[in-house]
Structure 1
Amino acid sequence: MPNYRVAVIGGTGPQGKGLGYRFARHGHDIVLGSRAAEKAEVVAAEVTERLSGVEGAGVARGATNADAIAAADVVLLAVPYDGHDELVASLPLAGKTVISCVNPLAFDKRGAHGQVVNGGEGSAAESAQELAPEAVVVGAFHNVSAVGLWGHDEFLDEDVIVVGDSVEGKQVAIDLAAAVTGRPGVDGGKLRLARVLEPFTAVLISINRKYKVHSGIRVRGLETGR
């Protein structure tokens, strides 16, 4: 399995930091991106300290978003949905494989729910592809808990579902998923199915609140198909 250089945009947030840590722990080099390089460098130092003594770990460093992307082959979008389109439009993503784990969620007195994107015919991942037409955008890591990513070092007992219109792009995310779950990600189909994966995170949040857990998704029946 190849090692990747991954720019994590939103790398100072819980999801970005957690995924970046997992990638670096298993041999991938990461650059945590932020609008302010200093903020990213502080979090990168925290990740580096956590990686101390881990054999074969990759390198973690911090940079501005643009510099992080320039130094990477793969870009992970781990940013809030608020301001997503404006941010993505400003990033130099041409020629990159872009993995979106952005979840357009909203919260009210009844709990979490998915926001409607493009009248129900869109998703954050599809918006990113429209805004960065010269990039290859796939969706993955939507349903992985930030608490689980950073809270312990064992592989998470769940699956990462990957969607996209590029076989090669999906393979990158499928490979990176092994750093989180210990097994390749699951090819879930075309990019438009991000419309299902993104709001499904609201269901997991509801389960977590009810049962006081950090739930995930496990796909059964794959053993004979892999």
Structure 2
Amino acid sequence: MATIAVIGGTGHLGKGIARRLAKAGHDVTIGSRAADKAEGIAAEMGLGTKGASNDDAAQGKDVVIVTVPYENQEATLKQIKDKVGSAIVVDTTVPLVPPKVMRVQLPAAGSAAAEAREHLGPGVRFVTAFHNVAAHILDTDAKVDCDVLVFSDDIEARNTVVGLVNDMDLRGLSGGALVNSAAAEAITSLLIYMNKTYKADGAGIRFTGLTTAPALP
């Protein structure tokens, strides 16, 4: 069992991750800028989850998962970077730039992952994941019909997060080095386009022919 904080955990993505990890038996704390809001979500969710301010939630954990919009990424990561200690920090940020969210608009640094790496500094164990999951479906008990790609230059941390994804009744796959996160970030805009064009509700991606990958849930 891991101790896990979900920062910004009051939105669909954060709640979905928190609920599924808690159901798998992990010790989950939901973080928010307003502690009382996080506490309310945790009380409603149950499953042994707790609520706290982002600062308090991030301290003393094995894994800290950040689920905030791109416009809040920098401030949130800078806020918690001195709190996380030796924890693995997992960033889910996708650089969507309204109103043209169906067009790929990666930042000048190459990806939101590259920017996050700078915000956190070199001493933090850093992973990215959950870019291509429909958050509103994740925040239910429904089957999530897509793979979850996990990226990091820290192979041990990457494999740990792949394992957590599999605990959530999803299929986690290693996507390789952190620089590859740009591909998953870009695919999000493509998926938004596909959902609109083909009137889908939460289209995802699956990788086929991976003979040694975990079985599909």
| TM > 0.5 fold call | yes
1:102 & 1:86 partners in 2: Cα distance?
Answer: 13
In structure 2, the residue matched to 1:116 is 106
How far did residue 181 of structure 1 move? 3.6
How far did residue 11 of structure 1 move? 0.4
Q: One-letter code of the match for 2:189?
A: A
In structure 1, the residue matched to 2:205 is 217
Change in 2 beyond 3 A, CA 1:225/1:77: closer
Asked if 1:148 corresponds to 2:137, the answer is yes
Say if 2:30 and 2:38, in contact at 8 Å, map to a contact too.
yes
Say if 2:60 and 2:85, in contact at 8 Å, map to a contact too.
no
Structure 1: gaps (5+ residues): 52-58
1:205 & 1:225 partners in 2: Cα distance?
Answer: 27
The one-character-per-residue Cα deviations of 1:125-175 (angstroms, maximum 9, x if unpaired) are 222222222211111111111111123x24422211111101111012101
2:26 & 2:157 partners in 1: Cα distance?
Answer: 17
In structure 2, the residue matched to 1:134 is 123
How far did residue 82 of structure 1 move? 0.4
1:154 & 1:37 partners in 2: Cα distance?
Answer: 28
User: Does the residue aligned with 2:65 lie in a helix, a strand or coil?
Assistant: strand
* Structure 1 vs Structure 2 CA RMSD: 1.7
Using the size of structure 1 for normalisation, the TM-score is: 0.86
Q: One-letter code of the match for 1:105?
A: L
User: Does the residue aligned with 1:162 lie in a helix, a strand or coil?
Assistant: strand
Q: Percent identity?
A: 39
Alignment partner for residue 105 of structure 1, among 96, 118, 123?
96
Q: One-letter code of the match for 2:19?
A: Y
Say if 1:125 and 1:139, in contact at 8 Å, map to a contact too.
yes
Using the size of structure 2 for normalisation, the TM-score is: 0.89
How far did residue 60 of structure 1 move? 0.6
Q: One-letter code of the match for 1:217?
A: I
Structure 2: gaps (5+ residues): none
Say if 1:158 and 1:181, in contact at 8 Å, map to a contact too.
no
In structure 1, the residue matched to 2:23 is 25
Change in 2 beyond 3 A, CA 1:15/1:222: same
In structure 2, the residue matched to 1:202 is 189
Q: One-letter code of the match for 1:112?
A: M
Asked if 1:82 corresponds to 2:80, the answer is no
1:64 & 1:130 partners in 2: Cα distance?
Answer: 23
2:195 & 2:66 partners in 1: Cα distance?
Answer: 24
Q: How many residues align?
A: 210
